[in-house]
Amino acid sequence: MRARTQSEGQPHARPLITHTHEIPVSALEDAIAENREAATRLLATARGVAKEKWAQPVAPGKWSPAQILDHVAAATEVALKAIKGDTSMGSIPRFLRFIPRTFGFNATIKKGKFPEKQRGPAAFAPSTGHPSYEAGKLRLENALTALEQHTRELAKAGTHSFEHSFFGRVTVADYVRFGALHMVHHEKQLHS
């Protein structure tokens, strides 16, 4: 859909409708900074977990701190795959994607908080073991670096949105921000 202008044919007419995928690069840089800050806090909190508690569930029926860190790293890797168009985590028909986008993705971005007690696809599951802090940190940092590099390349190429296999069309900046909110959600679990 082409943006309509105040007066079609005039050389300096402003768009009446702007598309959410036409956002400034600074929005992406802000989202990357939020994501990196959330990761830094998560890693600092995880580093502070006592060694004897590293492989113990944070609460009955919950993951251990090792699994939480592994899950966040896996989710960051999956986010990059999703942005690249990989649908290995599954998909839903395009005409239904507005539902999870509206009630899941957009609601999370608007509230600035990840929902409680929500299960994700198996692609986000942590390993069955309990990787060391160092292994989890390395995996997360590598995933973040790859995500940041790819999203910046997209922005340089003028691509500011993508078609997610569940959420439909979302901005890259909001998707990176979604990842930051996810990390904040799990960092809070490490305090329990």
- Look at residue 168 and tell me if it is in a domain: yes
- Look at residue 12 and tell me if it is in a domain: no
- Look at residue 66 and tell me if it is in a domain: yes
Calpha distance 5→189 (Å, rounded): 48
Residue ranges making up the domain that contains 88: 25-190
- Look at residue 165 and tell me if it is in a domain: yes
- Look at residue 93 and tell me if it is in a domain: yes
Q: Angle of helix 25-47 relative to helix 65-83, nearest 10 degrees?
A: 160
- Look at residue 135 and tell me if it is in a domain: yes
In whole angstroms, how far apart are CA 71 and each of 54, 80, 98, 108, 141? 14, 14, 26, 19, 13
- Look at residue 9 and tell me if it is in a domain: no
pLDDT in tens, the chain (192 residues): 334 333 444 444 333 333 344 456 699 999 999 999 999 999 999 999 999 999 999 989 889 999 999 999 999 999 999 999 998 888 999 999 999 999 999 999 999 998 887 777 676 778 888 999 999 999 999 999 999 999 999 999 999 999 999 999 999 999 999 999 999 999 999 986
This prediction's pTM: 0.84
CATH of the domain at 79: 1.20.120.450
- Look at residue 122 and tell me if it is in a domain: yes
Number of domains the chain contains: 1
